[in-house]
Every structure is written in C-alpha cells, then in structure tokens.
Structure 1
Amino acid sequence: MRNIFRKGKRVIIGYLIIMVTVIAVSETLLGKFFLKISPYSMQVPNVLLPTKGVTSYINQSVTQQQKIPTSRNIIFNSRTKQQSQHSIKIPTKAVKNQITSTVSSFRGTTWDPSSIHRKAITKNCTMLVDPSIIKTPFKFYIYDLPTKFNYDIQRLFTDERKYSFCYNLDYCGMGEELYQYSDKGTQIDQKMEKTDGRISVRNTHQFALEVIIHYKLLHSPYRTTNPDQADMFYIPAYTGLQCLTFSGNSQDFVNELFHYLETKESKHFNSGKPHFSTLSKIQREQASQNCPTLRHSKTEAVTFIAIEKESNPYWFRNQQIHGKSIIVAPYPSYIHFINQDKEKTLFEYHSGLRKLNESRYILKVPPISERKMLLFLAAGMRRSNFFRAKLLDQFAVQTDKGPDDFYESVANHPQTEQVMLITSECSVKHRTTTIPWMQRSVFCLQPPGDSPTRKSIYDSILSGCIPILFTNQYKTEYPFERVLNYESFTFTIDEKLISRYNKTVIEIVKGISEEKTKSLYNNLVRVSKWFQYSLPDGDAQWEDDAVTLILDELAFRNNITNVTYIF
C-alpha cells in the first residue's frame, strides 16, 4: 500500500513539474510575440536618475517594471543626439529596436492626445518619462538642489503633526482628494467608473505654489535633463514654505541657497541665461525681516512666479523690492482638472492656439439658470481693515453649512439673495462646502484682506461664479493680464461706492443687466482652464492650465518664441 502511495505521489509531482515548465515556456514565447507587435507592452527594467535632491526622490520611486508608453504622436527633438546621463537606459536589443521603430514612425507628426495611455496620480507624483527627447520651442533645466532646499521642507509640512492638520503637500503639492464632481456640479461616487468632464476637488493649501510648480515643471515637455541644452534654468527652492516652518534662520537658508548655486552650479548660474523660481507667499512677505528672500542681491537676476505682486509703493520703498521681476500666477485652488484623453479642447495651446478668444473650451458647471444664490461670500470673521469690515456687515445671513443643509433649514422662510459662508483657515468643514456654494451662486464677492488678492478668486472662477473685484488707489495685477481681459469675465466695483457713498454690494449687483451677466458668465467658463493646475499623471504634461501661460510669459519676457494674443 505504501509503495502504491509513493508511486502515485511521484507521478503527481512529475505532472506538476511538466505543467510549470510548459507554462513558463508559453509565457516566454507569448511575451516575445507581443513585444514585437505591441508598443504598449514594452517594459523598461531600469531608470538611471540624478543622485540627489527632490528630483531623484521622485524618480527613484519608479519601480523596475513601470510601463512606458512609446507610441505617442509627438514631435521628437532632433538636437538630443547627446543624450543626458539621466535619460532612460534600455538594456535589451529587442526593446531598443522597438523604440527605434516607434520613434521613427512618429517623427514630425501631429500629436494626438487621444493616443496617451493615462495613469492615476501617485502620492509621490512619480515621473515616468524623460521629456528631453520631446521637441518644444524652448527648454528649461531644473537644478537638482540638495533636499534641504525643497523635499525636506515638503515632508516637514506633510509628516509633522503640528503642520499636517492644515497642510497636505502630497500628490504633487495638491493634497489628498476630497471628492470629484460632474459637469452638473454634483459629487460623484468614487466607486463609479470614471467619465469625461470630471474635476477633482482636493485639500490644496493656498501657499502650496512652490511645490506644485516644481512638480508640474518636472512633468513638463519643455524640461530637459541636459543643462547644456537649456534656454532657461529653474531654481526649485521652497523659500516661502521655509519661512512658514519658523525653523532655522531664513536669512541663512537664502544665503546657503545662492552660495550653492554660485559654487556647485556656477557654470550655468553665471551663464547669463534666464533663471526663474517660485514664491509661495505674496511678494511683500517674502521681502520681510522674517522671510528675506527678495532682499538678497542675487534675486535681481531671477524672475519669480508668485501668487501676488506688490502694488503699494510704500512696501517697495521700505522693503527694497523695487525692480524685482514677478510673474503673477493664480493661487492654488481646491479645483484641479483630471486629464481627459478625448477632451481635445484641453490641449489647444499645443495644437497651435495663440488667440485665446478662439478657444472652444467651455467649463462644465451648472448654468446661470440653475444657480439659486445671487451673491455669495466665503470669508472668515476677521475684520482686517475698515473696508472689509463694512462688507461683512452687509451680510445678515451667515452660515457654516453647505448649500443642501442650508436650503433645507430655510425651506419655510423667504429665499435670501445673498449669503456668507463663515470660513476659517485650516478648517476641515469649509473645504467641502465652499465649492458647492460657488457652483450654485451667480456672483462671488472677493474683498481684500491682508492684501488685495485671495485664493477664493480662483475657486470662484473654476466654479463658474463671476468674481466681484474692487478697485483702490493702487492698481492690482492679476495673472496673465497681457493675454486675458479681466473686464470680459469679472465685475469690478469702485471701493468708494461702498466706503464713501454707503452703497451695498447687492444693490450694485441687482443693477447689472441680465445680458451683461450672461456675457460675463459665458466668457468666464471659456477662460477658466488657465487658472487651474491640472493633475500630473506620470507623462509629459501638454494640457492647457496655468503653467502653460506661465511658460508663455517667460518666453515673452526673454524673447524666446512666439506668444499668445489677448482674449
């Protein structure tokens, strides 16, 4: 009996060995077969990357078996014969042949966004391709700074308990997703299959610009990993966020930054080529005693992307920031577009659009007819100046509820025409109520606070709510004024009407004609895409967003290439 059992056991083991061998051989043959016929199946086993700084951290998180799509209809840059040491290395002959045939077949053709194989955004915002080979009108190089100048600061905000309740700088600096909504302004069940027209609302902090711009540029097709090919250079230092940590000496931080550039990157930093960087805080604050970035003499040669440019001459005189080159960019909004392969109106700039009024894009948000609230204000109770205090006093109806709960609570009362949502910085509640309110309101009031501009302006633009701005004695500069006519999609009130003549905002808004309101709304939903930072997905980013016009402005100021015309 035992002999029979042993003999049967051997037979079973033998069959198992044969089956495993057959499966292994079959997979090998099939793998070779599909490698020859399918460009999407190509796998790159290894990626050689820079050895230090946030760039290396991002790219080193790519696993050895990441899929790299190669059949993208793009124009490849013919000048990249001298491949950078940081480019992707392909070890096998079969894969080399596959790349050669694919690149040759698409050289010089028109790029089709529907050919892209999309991937979900990762927490560490992984970059999967080297954009050096992509042909663009100009190229910039990102300095690979030591991590103490960027990544260490990002992790401090995200990991330490004293900051993380307020700041979430993961996911390319855009924060964790709160929810998504459809073109009807309704929230979408995350378990549902993804559809076109989805927009991501995320826990994005208003001072996250340094991180967002850095990661967006890492994904930009305009980037090169070979500094000798660069027309411009980007300095990815988080000087504004460093000031907010209140850890260490900010003056020493800035001095060490420029000492590093002068000594370790002297060839390129002193080359005379344009340099640019980002400021997370407003210009005034980054020239203060506690945050002295703009007081350093070397910043004279750097163009800064900033959320606000100082307009008051008093600050120029007292903080020595006169003459600094600033490109005003939108505050990071809660709202970010999810890349849509089939939505070609999100790729118009790369397709040749330069006259923005010829754009066919329309933001998918509720129309005016479905917006119940005429005038909406999202603000804290802080009465930071006389004018703001006077505006707050005009809102008798104040709430901390979302629109659904609010309308349910006032169902048996006369419908109000204006409402104020009480917000406070770092509050969890208003992160999920502000955008729904704006999507149901026609006009969104944007009063000045500690400075003339605020994040809420861009939340309202991306919600289809017409921003109401104010004039004062100094001209406030808004993003991309060279190519966007703000009078066509915002409404401006002279502050004197409120402060001197005691007019109410609701009285002024009711005087706006229905025709004028429709015109403002129709223009607003056409320009909105330029005020958001779309979610990177691992591929080179061609989508129309704020970074598109930032790069356009850099090109204009440095006489590098043709630029856009006004909307």
Structure 2
Amino acid sequence: MLPKSPEQLNTKTSFTTLTTLLQTPLSPQNPRTWIILTVLFIQILLLCSLRSFPSSIPSPLPAVHYSARALQQCASGNLFVYHLPETFNHQILQNCDNLNPWSSRCDALSNHGFGQPAAAALAGIVPEDLLPAWHWTDQFVTEILFHDRIINHKCRVMDPESATAFYIPFYAGLAVGKYLWLNSTAEERDRHCDMMLSWIKDQPYFKRSNGWDHFITMGRITWDFRRSKDEDWGSSCIYKAGIRNVTRLLIERNPWDYFDIGVPYPTGFHPRSKSDLTRWQQFVRARPRHALFCFAGAPRRAFRNDFRGVLLSQCRDAGESCREVNCAGTRCSNGTSAILETFLDSDFCLQPRGDSFTRRSIFDCMVAGSIPVFFWRRTAYLQYQWFLPGEPESYSVFIDRNAVKNGSLTVKGVLERFSKEEVRKMREKVIEYIPRLVYAKTKDGLEGVKDAFDVAIEGLFARFKEQEQPEFHKWK
C-alpha cells in the first residue's frame, strides 16, 4: 500500500475531529456546540466562495491572444539587457563635465543624447511644425540612443533563457573619449573596457555562447578601439580576447571584420511620429534647388596632397554652380543652419573622406534630400549595407579621385552630364531611404516605420539566426 500524503492525513484528521464533535450532545451551554457551529459556518463559507471563485479569474482566452500577438511582433527574436554596474554607463553621463579635456560635454549629451533644441537657429529654414524634431545632436551619442530604445523595446525580456540577443550597455566611446587627446597611458585608455570584460566573462549566458549572440554599441569609429601598440592611438578594446565574438555597432566599421557593423551617424533630425517623417520627405522633395553641387568642410593643410583642398578649389571655380560652407576648426562639429540650408539648396553634395573614411556629413546631406558624391568606396558602400540601397548608382555618384587630382575630370563636368530626370530619380531614392538614416525621438520608435535603430536590431536578429544554422562555422 502506498503511504498517504500529508494532505490526505490532514483531511482524514479533520474529518475524524468533526465526526467526534457531531456525536457530542449539543446544548448552548456546551462549548463544543459553538465549536461545531463555527466549523459548519466556515465550511459553508468555503463552499460558497468556491462556487463564485471562477468568475473572479479572467478568462484564459485573452491571455492566449495576447501571447500570440507578442509572439507575432517578436517573431525575429527577443532582447535581454544586462544590468551592468552604473560605472559603465550612467556614471559616465553624470561625469559629463569631465569627458572632454577642453570643455563640458553636458549640453551635447543632454535630452537622452539628442542634445539641445535647434529650433531657434533653424527657424525659417525648417517648416515651423517640424522645428521641435531638430536638435544639435553630437555625432558620438549612439551608445545613449540605442540604450534608451533597447530598454523600452517591445521584445525585451527579463528572462535570459528566452533571449535571442544579449545587449551589453557599456558606453565604450564616451568612456575612452577623454583619454584620446591627453598624454594618457595605455592602461588608462583600456581601463573601462578591461573592467567590463572582467564582469561580462563571468556571466553564464556569455560563457554559454562565448559572446556569439551578444552585441554592444561603440559610439565612435572602429579605429579608436584598435590600438596595436601601447604608444599608438586609442584603446585596444576590440583586440581584447573577451570581445572577439561580440557584434559591435559602430559609426565606422572595419570592412574586413565580420563583427563590425556600420550604423548611421546621428543627424539633427529626430522625428516624433510617422507624420513628421512624411512631412519632411514632402518638404525636401518640393524644395527648389539652385546650386548644382556643394561642399561643407575644411581643407586638411597638414596632409600632403590634401584632396579636400582640391575640391574646395573646384567648388570656387564653378561659380554659382557650387555652394561652399567653410568648416575650419570645430564650427561644423554638430551641424549648423548654414550646412542644412546649403544641402537643401543643392542637387549634389561632395563627400570626400573625413579624418577617417566616413563622415557625419554623408547623413546630414542625404536627410536634406541631396545626392551624395563619393570618392572612396569605403566612405559608404562598404560601410552601411543594412541602411543604404544595394545599387550605389541608384542614390549616389562615384567619381575617381585620381582623375580629379590630375585634372582629367572636373566635378562640375561629371555632374552636369546627368539629366533632370536622372537627378530626380536619384533624389527620390535618397528621400525613400531617409527613415532608415535617422533616429526617432520616441522611446518606442515610429508606428509603422523602421528608423535606423529598428533596422539595426532586425539585422542583429537575422545575423544571430544565421549563426545558428548547421552550415555556419563558429570558432570557439
């Protein structure tokens, strides 16, 4: 015979007690009479409660429908966000006065990374109803923008077991920025990265995948994290063993590193709704353009055979066909009203390489509906494949820089060959892709539209899914 469970024993004992009580003579003076009545009253209450209890429980049908909707919305995957110690993110922001050796970064990092409002300076250039969507946004704030959006993402989960992708909210670019320009040691430049890797390598889900399903935003160009020797520029974070298999979202990638993904530089336009985007697209489509091309930048006189200087000379020689914005010093670091107005007024915008192969101006130009002209393929074509059209000629022009240097081609001569219809089609393609190049101002994104953040997250889910296929080779 099987032993009785504790529940069965308790039930039998209660029944025996009640039977004994019932067999006792009942009288108001007998205390046992009140005990029996009390027990009976409690039993009646319990029976009544049990009969009405199901009506107080919500029907399971809505919960099933809700789960189905959630599964449909997050069919690509779920996000898990590590709760890193605040020294890796929030404390860095709190220390904004000391993130730059020359001046405070607090204004630039304010408003959840969007920066100070630009409405006053852009009045008369931007439609009045869109002025609140414009800010003086710093080019190095993707770490903040992504963090804010991910913690509010509809597919964020608290249970790591159900996650497809694991996000490490470490502000690597902001942490190292201060030390790039000082006479700092290699240890100082690597300190935050070393501490973060020491922390993450102890996490069970990092150990499980060896980092393959993890990602991080690094809000600077990849070369700022690829120091080979102690005396060289930057941090060596990307070369650290623990981060080797982690996917890295950067504003400029190494085209030959699988784990580097290029994401758009932040611009000043942050739509608050789908209607903001549509309104802006209509505005730049209808905008009259009086100049054939433009160039916003400054020569690099310290560089031998500076190509920017060549382009500035050609712009000036082109007369009214070209508009120029002199960006000497730091006057154009986060955009100016003169730059936006110039891009809005020009069919084409010249985009030579910057201090590195990419520059924020590419995205400022395209958001204004101007057609970019490239001279290095690594400036865009090998950088932002998730965000730009697959056919470069559909939205841009490529000119051989060597032919421009030796005088066999002029920029004006090349651009004048395009018919008005060809220019219209290229501009239309640029305008079509504006949503994928901007970061929305809302924490939940834009209803029915994918912005740069959404495109990046979808790309990550697709990449991690591909990595799980049997034919995909992963080293340990």
Instruction: Give the shorter-chain TM-score range.
Output: 0.7 to 0.9
Query: Aligned-pair distance for 1:420?
Result: 1.0
Residue 299 of structure 2 corresponds to residue 395 of structure 1? no
Matches of 2:456 and 2:89 in 1, distance apart? 21
Tell me, in whole angstroms, the C-alpha distance in 2 between the residues paired with 1:256 and 1:224. 25
Q: Give the letter for the 2:207 counterpart.
A: N
1:118-197 equivalences under 5 Å are 135-157=74-96, 162-164=102-104, 168-179=108-119, 186-188=126-128
**Corresponding residue for 1:519?**
425
Counterpart of 1:467 in structure 2: which amino acid?
P
Whether the 8 Å contact between 2:93 and 2:109 is mirrored in structure 1 is yes
* 1:102 to 1:307, Cα distance in 2 relative to 1, 3 A: farther
SS of equivalent residue, structure 2 residue 316: coil
How high is the TM-score relative to the length of structure 1? Answer: 0.61
Task: Show the counterpart of 2:51.
Answer: none
Q: Which residue of 1 aligns with 2:6?
A: none
| Map of 2:284 onto structure 1 | 366
Correspondence 1:226 to 2:163: no
- TM-score normalised by length of structure 2: 0.72
CA distance in 1 between counterparts of 2:397 and 2:166 reads: 37
The alignment partner of 2:83 has SS state of coil
Contact 1:373 1:440 in 2 (8 A): yes
Specify the SS of the correspondent of 1:245: helix
SS at match of 2:357: coil
Report the alpha carbon displacement of residue 213 of structure 1 after superposing the two structures with TM: 1.6
Match of 2:295 among 373, 377, 387: 377
Q: Secondary structure at the match of 1:249?
A: helix
SS in 1 for 2:220: coil
Tell whether the 8 Å contact from 1:300 to 1:323 is kept in structure 2 after alignment.
no
Q: Does 1:300 align with 2:233?
A: no
Q: 2: distance between equivalents of 1:534 and 1:181?
A: 21
CA distance in 2, matches of 1:160, 1:527: 34
Higher helix share: 2
Equivalence for 1:327: 261
Partner of 2:437: 531
* Alignment partners' CA distance in 2, 1:474 and 1:415: 27
Partner of 1:70: none
Q: Structure 1 residues 306 and 441, CA, compared in 2 at 3 Å: closer, same or farther?
A: same
Q: Distance in 2 between matches of 1:210 and 1:336?
A: 16
Please say if 1:107 is aligned against 2:27.
no
List per-residue Cα deviations over 1:82-140 (Å, max 9, x = no partner).
xxxxxxxxxxxxxxx99999965973798xxxxxxxxxxxxxxxxxxxx9997443101
Does the aligned pair in 2 maintain the 1:154–1:211 contact within 8 Å? no
Alignment partner of 1:284: what SS? helix
- Do 1:181 and 1:200's aligned partners in 2 also have CA atoms closer than 8 Å? no
Alignment-derived partner of residue 235 in structure 1: 168
1:478, CA displacement in angstroms?
2.7
Within 5 Å, give how 1:47-86 maps onto structure 2.
Answer: none
For the 8 Å contact 1:254–1:293, the answer to whether it is kept is: yes
- What corresponds to 2:320 in structure 1? 416
- Work out the CA distance in 2 between the residues paired with 1:552 and 1:513: 37
The aligned amino acid for 1:379 is G
CA distance in 2, matches of 1:154, 1:388: 35
> Quick one: distance in 2 between partners of 1:200 and 1:440?
20
**Aligned equivalent of 1:252:** 191
CA gap of 1:220–1:429, structure 2 versus 1, over 3 A, is closer
* Whole-angstrom distance in 1 between the partners of 2:377 and 2:308: 13
Query: Residues 474 and 531 of structure 1: is their aligned pair in 2 closer, same or farther, counting only changes over 3 Å?
Result: closer
1:385 deviation in Å? 5.3
SS at match of 2:95: helix
Is 1:553 aligned with 2:459? Answer: yes
What residue number does 1:268 align with?
Answer: 205
Amino acid at match of 1:498: V
Q: How far apart, in 1, do the equivalents of 2:190 and 2:99 lie? A: 23
8 Å contact 2:121–2:337 — kept in the other structure? no
Return 5+ residue gaps in structure 1 as ranges.
Answer: 1-96, 111-130, 189-194, 312-321, 347-360, 398-413, 562-567
For 1:307, give the aligned amino acid.
I
Output the CA distance in 2 between the equivalents of 1:134 and 1:367: 33
**Structure 2 letter corresponding to 1:500:** N
Q: 1:532 offset after TM fit, Å?
A: 0.6
Q: Distance in 2 between matches of 1:291 and 1:429?
A: 24
- Alpha-carbon distance in 1 for matches of 2:220, 2:281: 28
Q: Contact 1:139–1:224 (CA<8 Å) still a contact in 2? A: yes
Aligned pair count reads 394
* Aligned counterparts of 1:98 and 1:156: Cα–Cα separation in 2: 50
* 1:92 counterpart residue number: none
Write the letter of the residue equivalent to 1:520. M
3-state SS of the aligned residue for 1:223? Answer: coil
Q: Distance in 1 between matches of 2:58 and 2:347?
A: 52
Amino acid in structure 1 at the alignment position of 2:320: T
Counterpart amino acid of 2:284?
P
* 1:504-537 per-position Cα deviation (integer Å, ceiling 9, x unaligned): 2122111222221111011111111101111124
Change (3 A) 1:139 1:528: same
Structure 1 residue 395 displacement after superposition: 2.9
The alpha carbon displacement at 1:428 in A equals 8.3
Shift in CA distance, 174/363, structure 1 to aligned 2, threshold 3 Å: same
Instruction: Please tell me whether the aligned partners of residues 370 and 440 of structure 1 are also in contact (alpha carbons under 8 angstroms).
Output: yes
User: Deviations along 1:386-418, whole A, 9 cap, x unmatched?
Assistant: 222211222328xxxxxxxxxxxxxxxx98121
How far residue 275 of structure 1 moved from its aligned partner, in angstroms, is: 0.5
From the superposition, tell whether residues 456 and 198 of structure 1 become closer, same or farther in structure 2 (CA, over 3 Å): same
